Amino acid sequence: MYVIHWKSQVNGRAGTGTKLFDRNEAESLVAELNREYPQIHHEIWEAARAQSDEPSSRASDPSPGSMELLGAR
């Protein structure tokens, strides 16, 4: 399973959504989000990577419009 990680290219804030996707869903959503929000880079991460790489900064400042899609807190 995969989650979507994002990073603002404007202010450097980053976060990781909590909603789980299969690979095809995640790739499709990332492509859509990167088109709609070019100032924010979205990428897919394996769910296990998200847990080990970001234990305390998960979705610290969600990207506009993608918060509910990503299941971010």
Per residue in 2-18, pLDDT (tens digit) is 999 999 999 999 999 99
What span, in angstroms and rounded, lies between the C-alpha atoms of 65 and 46?
A: 22
Q: Which two tokens stand for residue 46?
A: 């394996």
> Shortest CA distance to 45 belongs to which of 66, 20, 63, 65?
20
pLDDT of 37 reads 97
pTM for this entry:
0.69
Q: Hey, is 63 helix, strand or coil?
A: coil
User: What is the band of 55 on the pLDDT scale with cuts at 50, 70, 90?
Assistant: very low
What span, in angstroms and rounded, lies between the C-alpha atoms of 43 and 27?
A: 8
Residue 70 has pLDDT above 80, yes or no: no
Residue 38 has pLDDT above 60, yes or no: yes
**Extents of the domains making up the chain:** 2-66
What span, in angstroms and rounded, lies between the C-alpha atoms of 49 and 28?
A: 20
